[in-house]
Structure 1
């Protein structure tokens, strides 16, 4: 499977992916999924042709970049697309002057996936939208 990861300001495809994965599949309440950070973020969407397959959003705060709202459509899971989205996010954040760390909030079942990408757990387990999470980070 091949894909192209693009930065976009049109959130139609990113929101559709997030709705499918987070709201429909994982039963996260809409009020918890949609926040006021989308208009401050850099949004990445992965496409195969014109079909959106995955998305992630990038935010910054001080010397920390954050990769969040990472999701991959069912047909593209297990293909390496999730890792490619994270790698692209890290690469883009590394180009922002002053950032030294990348952080993300990982669903507990996915911590091993992120550890393979260089992230370490930095928090106790906590509940986010009814799903157990850990904060994780890695240096840039």
Structure 2
């Protein structure tokens, strides 16, 4: 009888989260949002890309290889957090919470005492854990 030695579990990849400028990271931000919203969730690209990205502050999470794996944005004019997206293979690792925290800190630095966001129904529990209250539909 032969027994196989189990493979060592992979070490979790190191993820860096930082604010980026739209002009510098547009390609990577669009790739993530297209993968998550347009391809997975069938969101119309015209709805996803609303023309507001240049004025927004963007959070980007990148893996060890420098590949973008999650993003979100803060519109400082409207005081709104949105476009939160994590690619499938990185979900469930706390990246959404890290992005949200960074965007909330950024909002405070921008002088915003309050932020709003729109969330899909399935994401409401995620935001409620961070202290958000669901209002309306």
Instruction: Please give the range of the TM-score, normalised by the shorter of the 2 chains.
Output: 0.7 to 0.9
Partner of 1:68: 82
Which of 61, 71, 75 is the equivalent residue of 1:55?
Answer: 71
Query: RMSD of the TM alignment (CA)?
Result: 1.2
Deviation, structure 1 residue 44? 1.2
- What's the counterpart of residue 117 of structure 2? 104
After TM superposition, the score normalised by the length of structure 1 is: 0.82
Matches within 5 A, 1:1-140: 1=12, 2-9=14-21, 10=24, 11-49=26-64, 50-61=66-77, 65-97=79-111, 99-122=112-135, 124-125=136-137
**In proportion to residue count, which structure has more strand?**
1
Alignment gaps of 5+ in structure 1 = 126-140
- Number of aligned positions between the proteins: 121
Structure 1 counterpart of 2:5:
none
TM-score, L = length of structure 2: 0.84
Structure 2: gaps of 5 or more residues: 1-11
Task: Specify the structure having the higher radius of gyration (Cα).
Answer: 2
Stretches of 4+ moved more than 3 A in 1? none
- Structure 1 CA distance, aligned partners of 2:54 and 2:68? 20
